């Protein structure tokens, strides 16, 4: 009598019949010391191993070969990986460079390859309005060698905002509409 469970198994590595203990992994049978890391060729003894292209790897080799590297700390990313600005980050390392708040899931701004939260970006890096000296979050009006909030670029006489396509005149460094 023979059944599937007592049939001699063949080791996937050496193709020899396995007489002793059988290791079953990746839907194949192996001599326990023939189930080896594809990179360092050492037997994989730990119960957890990694595969890539159906090849087994021990944890250190898999990390070395396949893990993404964090742009900030240069260490491999084993948990959640954040992809931003064309590079990879540990979730805990993708931070505003000023206040160190987590940027994942937020609107962040990039200045010279460095990420900032919106608040820090506005307070330190955004263009400032010549009219009110506050940072400009939206599109700025560029006029008189300076940048302005749309609403801050006003006629110095009638106080009405001067729109982008509206012509204006300058008097003593201050803009005013043509009619005024
Ligand atoms: Zn074998
Ligand atoms: Zn290895
Ligand atoms: Zn990191
Ligand atoms: Zn910040
Ligand atoms: Zn302003
Ligand atoms: Zn005016």
Using a pLDDT cut of 70, give the percent of the chain over it.
Answer: 97
Q: Is 164 helix (H, G, I), strand (E, B) or coil?
A: coil
Determine the Cα–Cα distance for residues 56 and 76; give it in Å rounded to an integer. 19
Q: Which two tokens stand for residue 161?
A: 């905002």
Find the length of the chain.
180
For ligand 3, the distance from its centroid to the CA atom of residue 120, given in whole angstroms, is: 21
pLDDT over 80 at 1, yes or no: no
For ligand 4, the distance from its centroid to the CA atom of residue 92, given in whole angstroms, is: 14
User: Does the residue 160 lie in any domain?
Assistant: yes
Ligand (nearest to CA of 11): 1
The reply to whether 176 and 142 lie within a common domain is yes
Q: Is 120 helix (H, G, I), strand (E, B) or coil?
A: helix
The reply to whether 136 and 105 lie within a common domain is no
Domain count, the chain: 3
Q: In which domain, by residue range, is 113 found?
A: 80-125
Q: What is the mean pLDDT of the chain?
A: 90
Question: Tens digit of pLDDT for each residue in 102-130?
Answer: 999 999 999 988 999 999 999 888 889 99
Residue 48, C-beta contacts closer than 8 angstroms, at least 6 positions apart: 59
pLDDT given for residue 4 in this prediction: 52
For ligand 1, the distance from its centroid to the CA atom of residue 41, given in whole angstroms, is: 13
User: Does the residue 87 lie in any domain?
Assistant: yes
pLDDT over 60 at 172, yes or no: yes
The CATH number assigned to the domain holding 103 equals 2.10.110.10
pLDDT given for residue 6 in this prediction: 63
Question: Tens digit of pLDDT for each residue in 150-167?
Answer: 999 999 999 999 987 889
Surrounding residues of ion ligand 6, Cβ less than 5 A: 155, 157-158, 177, 180
The reply to whether 18 and 60 lie within a common domain is yes
Residue 118 DSSP code? H
Least confident range of 2-11, 38-47, 88-97: 2-11
The reply to whether 116 and 134 lie within a common domain is no
CB 19 within 8 A of CB 29: no
Determine the Cα–Cα distance for residues 45 and 5; give it in Å rounded to an integer. 24
The mean per-residue pLDDT over the stretch 46-59 comes to: 88
pLDDT given for residue 5 in this prediction: 57
Surrounding residues of ion ligand 5, Cβ less than 5 A: 129, 131-132, 149, 152
For ligand 6, the distance from its centroid to the CA atom of residue 164, given in whole angstroms, is: 14
pLDDT over 90 at 46, yes or no: no
Q: What is the 3-state secondary structure (H, E, C) of 46-114?
A: CCCCEEECCEEECHHHHHHHHCEECCCCCCEECCCEEEECCEEEEHHHCECCCCCCECCCCCEEEECCE
pLDDT given for residue 152 in this prediction: 93
The mean per-residue pLDDT over the stretch 14-37 comes to: 93
Per the listing, tokens 């084993």 go with 78
pLDDT given for residue 2 in this prediction: 42
The reply to whether 109 and 136 lie within a common domain is no
pLDDT given for residue 110 in this prediction: 92
pLDDT band per the 50, 70, 90 thresholds, residue 8: confident
Ligand (nearest to CA of 10): 1
User: Which residue, of 66, 89, 110, is where some domain finishes?
Assistant: 66
């Amino acid at each position: 009598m023979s059944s599937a469970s007592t049939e001699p198994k063949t080791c996937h590595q050496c193709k020899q019949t396995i007489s002793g203990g059988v290791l079953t992994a990746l839907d194949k049978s192996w001599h326990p010391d023939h189930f080896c890391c594809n990179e360092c060729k050492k037997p994989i003894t730990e119960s957890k191993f990694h595969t890539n292209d159906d090849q087994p790897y021990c944890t250190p080799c898999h990390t070395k070969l396949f893990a993404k590297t964090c742009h900030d700390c240069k260490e491999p990313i084993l948990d959640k990986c954040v992809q931003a600005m064309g590079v990879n980050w540990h979730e805990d390392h993708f931070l505003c460079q000023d206040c160190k708040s987590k940027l994942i899931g937020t609107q962040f701004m990039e200045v010279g390859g460095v990420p900032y939260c919106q608040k820090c970006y506005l307070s330190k890096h955004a263009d400032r309005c010549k009219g009110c000296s506050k940072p400009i979050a939206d599109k700025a009006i560029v006029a008189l060698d300076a940048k302005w909030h749309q609403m801050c670029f006003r006629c110095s006489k009638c106080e009405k905002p001067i729109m982008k396509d509206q012509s204006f005149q300058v008097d003593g460094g201050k803009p005013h509409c043509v009619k005024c």
